[in-house]
Structure 1
Amino acid sequence: MSPASDPKSLQADLDLALRLAEHASEVILPKFRRCAVEIKPDGTEVTAADRSAEEVIRDVLGRERPGDGVLGEEFPERVAAEGISRQWIVDPIDGTAAFALGLPTFGTLIALMEGGEPVVGVIHLPAMGETTYAAIGLGCWWRPSPGEPAERVRVAPPTPLGEAYASTTNPRSSDIVSRPGQVRYRLGTLIRSAGKFRFVGDCVQFALVCRGRLHVAFDSMMAPWDIAALVPCIEEAGGVASALDGSRPGIVFSRSVLSSCDPELHREVLRVLTPDETDPE
């Protein structure tokens, strides 16, 4: 039996992922609304809290899973030992823009990949105190605050697009805002087609899909550390996850994610978002 199919091994890894998120939270919260913001060469925000939290995560993994690989947003990749196909993918603060503005809608993402597939995922929201987490075959769970019992969660029942509540982070790479070379997803059409639409953003919106509060959430410009933790949570909650081209294999490295509460809605959202070949660049 491989580790990915061993429930005891997966539970141990999930427990570790939850502890990693808690350790990160202990570093992040004292700096919340008290931290200077820098702009990285790619134009994204970074703070001392991002770096300190990832250092703590890496230190713990170095002690408890020394042979596993580690890929994170702020520091170089640590390659797994020979013969080990496990890699932790971490984003200490997903939604640094929100963190920098003093908004509580940021999260810590912890994932474990095994054999190229995400098998453990944790979406922890330090400022809100809540955590959504999952491991393959063990379901998706939501803990509303530290110390409270977790409850198993599922996505909303099948819902037509005209009644669906949809969300994204921002209008980048769309028919509203785009740069040369970016796909112009038809966000404007989706906004008009959905029952309700909000720019909830970042990992919070995907956690809300897992809990049945949103029917659709997507982002068009993502990195592996933005994606990996989301996928087990969405799928273990009974939802559908794919890249925005509709593909599922290799989703962690696809640079986009669409999550929906049911397959039919998922297909409809893909149809609405996908640009026509005749759309101008």
Structure 2
Amino acid sequence: MLAAAADSVTLDRFRANDLAVDRKPDRTPVTDADLAVEDAIRALLAEHRPEDLVAGEERGGDLDALAGKRVWVIDPIDGTKGFLRGLPVWATLIALVDDGTVTSGMVSAPALGRRWWAHTGSGAYTDDGHGPRPIAVSGVRSLSDAFLSTTNLATWGEYHSRAAYEALVDACWENRAFGDFWHHCLVAEGAIDLAAEPIVNPWDIAPFAILLSEAGGQLTDLSGVARLDGGNALSSNGRLHAEALTILEAGRAH
């Protein structure tokens, strides 16, 4: 229901000639579609889950102040820069956090014709238009065989260490910058093995905490702590996680 409402708004505004674009204080873009999607989801939750709280990227909500509560965490359009340029790689991210633990997550990328979702104890799934199917992370056990992705290489120099990321690149078999939501979904379904981000917000990664866990993988910050508010993130098939973290930390030290 929530994802369908979001898709209706985003697809209607995608590639619209009159798309309105503004800038937030952090200089990232926000479109009229971002605001409309979050408002639509909030309206549905107010109607059907009035006792729950909401924290969204555009309309606010402090997760730190909501401990012990049921909170819906929303990123109305993850990949806004691509959305406003007419690229199809963007998605609405929805997660339910219950007393600090993500229990459900949904990622809907309608321009790609894809959804991914997971619930605690129920496994992880995707649907590419041919019906739901279960997904699982890869079985790759060596970084020399691993496929790595990030979002924007330039942000490594600003928020962590470009040298550290390049050291991880050198240790891996292949790398790309699929970016944003998509590379975490690709890790969950076993298409790639690692996705590393030097800067994220809780709404950027909330659904992936449960999606990766239920798919057999792992999501932590770059210090190895499983949290949404660490400011950065590494998702993996689990088998490569510790070694990747070690390289990222060693590279930063230099």
Given the alignment, which residue of 153, 172, 178 partners 2:135? 153
- Identical residues among aligned pairs (%): 35
Name the CA shift for 1:277/1:270 in 2 (closer, same or farther; >3 Å): closer
- Separation (CA, whole Å) in 2 of partners of 1:24 and 1:230: 18
Q: Residue in 2 aligned with 1:244?
A: 222
Listed one character per residue, the Cα deviations across residues 33-60 of structure 1 (whole Å, up to 9, x for unaligned) are 1223222121111000000000000000
Q: Residue in 2 aligned with 1:183?
A: 160
Residue 231 of structure 2 aligns with an amino acid whose one-letter code is: R
8 Å CA contact retained: 2:161, 2:252: no
Deviation (angstroms), 1:76: 2.8
- Structure 1 position 222 matched with structure 2 position 204: no
Q: For 1:133-144, what aligned pairs fall within 5 Å after superposition?
A: 133-144=117-128
Is the partner of 1:252 in helix, strand or coil?
coil
Name the CA shift for 1:270/1:62 in 2 (closer, same or farther; >3 Å): same
Deviation (angstroms), 1:256: 1.5
- Separation (CA, whole Å) in 2 of partners of 1:68 and 1:53: 18
8 Å CA contact retained: 1:21, 1:108: yes
Given the alignment, which residue of 116, 126, 133 partners 2:100? 116
Is the partner of 1:158 in helix, strand or coil?
coil
- Separation (CA, whole Å) in 2 of partners of 1:245 and 1:151: 33
- Structure 1 position 168 matched with structure 2 position 150: yes
CA RMSD in angstroms comes to: 1.8
Name the CA shift for 1:123/1:278 in 2 (closer, same or farther; >3 Å): closer
- Structure 1 position 26 matched with structure 2 position 8: yes
Structure 1: tracts of 5 or more residues without a match? 1-18
Given the alignment, which residue of 84, 91, 114 partners 1:130? 114
8 Å CA contact retained: 2:212, 2:219: yes
Q: Residue in 2 aligned with 1:4?
A: none
- Structure 1 position 43 matched with structure 2 position 27: yes
Q: Residue in 2 aligned with 1:3?
A: none
Q: Residue in 2 aligned with 1:105?
A: 89
Give runs of ≥4 in structure 1 deviating > 6 Å.
none
Given the alignment, which residue of 254, 260, 268 partners 2:243? 268
8 Å CA contact retained: 1:70, 1:78: no
TM-score (norm 1): 0.84
- Structure 1 position 67 matched with structure 2 position 51: yes
TM-score (norm 2): 0.93
- Separation (CA, whole Å) in 2 of partners of 1:92 and 1:124: 10
- Separation (CA, whole Å) in 1 of partners of 2:115 and 2:48: 22
- Separation (CA, whole Å) in 2 of partners of 1:208 and 1:278: 29
Deviation (angstroms), 1:184: 1.6
8 Å CA contact retained: 2:148, 2:194: yes
Is the partner of 1:122 in helix, strand or coil?
strand
Q: Residue in 2 aligned with 1:231?
A: 209
Structure 2: tracts of 5 or more residues without a match? none
Q: Give the number of equivalent residue pairs.
A: 249
- Separation (CA, whole Å) in 1 of partners of 2:248 and 2:67: 41
